[in-house]
Structure 1
């Protein structure tokens, strides 16, 4: 699965709105905030994520890219 910071930012905005917040209100700069948060999450996951293959000739732990 490819991680997409723009899709993640949209989903954060959508869920905040659905829960009664106004993340995109003019004074909140919400879109910029969610975009920064989403980008940080994507970068963190890409830098730290690993997958374990427990059997077969490819057994081992690999970095997720």
Structure 2
């Protein structure tokens, strides 16, 4: 499964709303915070994440894309 910034952003908004936050309104930071978190998480995984394969012809550490 590929990492998706927009999917993760929507999930963050959904989770914050479930905790009582409001995503609507002039002063709400929910959407901005969700976007910033999603961008940072996906970028970090793609830039520094490694998947370890323990056996077979693909054995080794491989970057996460």
Which of the five TM-score ranges fits, normalised by the shorter chain?
0.7 to 0.9
Q: Which runs of 5+ in 1 are unaligned?
A: none
**Count of residues paired in the alignment:** 65
Q: Which runs of 5+ in 2 are unaligned?
A: none
1:7 and 1:57 map into 2 onto residues whose CA distance is: 32
The TM-score with structure 1 as length reference comes to 0.82
* Counterpart mapping for 1:1-65 below 5 A: 1-65=1-65
Runs of at least 4 residues of structure 1 off by over 6 A?
none
The TM-score with structure 2 as length reference comes to 0.82
